[in-house]
Amino acid sequence: MVSVIKYLWGLFLFTFPLSIRWVFYEPASYRFGNFNPWVTGFVYLPEILLGVVFVLWIIYKLKVESLKLKVGSWLWGVFFLFAINAFVVTLLFGDGFLGAMFVLRLFEALVVFWLLTDEVLPIKNMVTILLFGAVLQILWGYAQWRMNGSLGLTWLGESVFGPDIFGVAKIDLADGAKQVRAYGSFLHSNILAAYLLIILFLSLRYLKYGYKLFWIALFTWGIYLTNSQAAMIVDALTLGLYILFAFFKSPLFRKAIGLAIIVVLALGNFWFFKNSHAIQTRDLSIQERLEQNVISRNMWSAHPFGVGVSDFTLEMEHFNADKLLPWEFQPVHNTYFLILNEVGVQGLLLLLLFILALFDRYWEGGKAIGIFILLFLMPFDHFLWDSWVGLILIAIVAGFFVLENHPHKLFTKED
């Protein structure tokens, strides 16, 4: 059974980016005319695989060992309070079924975290699998870039897109033509870019020095194909932080830098939350995001305890002066703001408390690059909160963080 579990777990790590999914819940999906994925229930093929791995793993554990979970109970108590709050708020003010689905996805992320920290596979083996999974996505994205459209691999979860299809992520070229951005098997270019960014920096410390520049160049090229400006900014910030930490190895210094980053992020997000209405820009993309921030602030003023998971797009029309067009019904492109809107100020505070507690309990060696990538990405987009693959990426980062800083199995034999 052990070999089967290891094989299936490795297969999951390689294939979880595949967006093979089926709709099974859609009562409000067409409320505004266009299809709204943010209020639609999907089941993904890789999550079914994860369920199989978890069942086999727990059966093996119960058969071979009497389990004892070695974690700080209060830390995980905060996590479960966060999940309970999300469900209760959604049950009271939103769609209880979508709230239950979100809690299930949180549990699936927790399963990924458990499997990582229990070292079902050695960490170097997991890194190798993740690297080659990312290489597949880079090559896939390059082929889409060259073809200027999807490759027709819908059976592998590839989206259907091209330069003339409305709503597709693309860039305007100097000659007036449109160039699609690389998607790989993801539902959007920005998610592919974040995936590459996370896998790169989680893997760097396990690569031989002579190969690091090659992998950095390859992954940076892959991020370039996505044309994700947020990922490019975060890539530069993270690379600078990586170099800084390489020269200054003192855990105390690293924690001081980490605390400074958290303070700057908190103050910066607070400023944008309060002042987005006063910022003037000619960039339409930035202007749209600033308008979403204003809607987010207005929504929070009216519903400080949250509107429910996945309900942002259903409520946003009530908090904008102008009538929204169908394609403008999108979640606010800031994960902190979206969490504040959907599960309330108490939900955001619980999440921040959990992050700080995770740092305090497990950050022993100063290895927290992955966590900082997440913190850097959150102000730029929403997928880490409202997409299945986003939650899995968070779980992978958290698993590596705990495994590298506190390398003791969470599950041990009962005495």
Q: What percent of the chain has pLDDT over 70?
A: 94
Gap between the Cα atoms of 386 and 327, Å rounded:
17
Dihedral sign (CA 59, 60, 66, 68)? negative
The pLDDT of residue 154 is above 90? yes
Listed in sequence order, the residues at least 6 apart from 402 whose beta carbon sits closer than 8 Å to its beta carbon are 113, 117, 358, 362, 410
pTM of the predicted model, to two decimals? Answer: 0.93
Q: What single letter denotes the amino acid at residue 372?
A: F
d(CA 47, CA 107): 11
User: How does pLDDT run across 384-400, given as a tens digit for each residue?
Assistant: 999 999 999 999 999 99
Residue type, 179: Q
pLDDT tens sequence across 358-381 = 777 767 655 788 889 999 999 999
pLDDT digits (tens, 9 = 90+) for 267-303: 999 999 999 988 988 888 888 899 999 999 999 999 9
Q: Other C-beta atoms within 10 Å of 73: how many?
A: 8
Check residue 48 and give its pLDDT. Answer: 96
> In which band, very low, low, confident or very high, does the pLDDT at 196 lie, cut at 50, 70 and 90?
very high
- Tell me: pLDDT of 355 over 70: yes
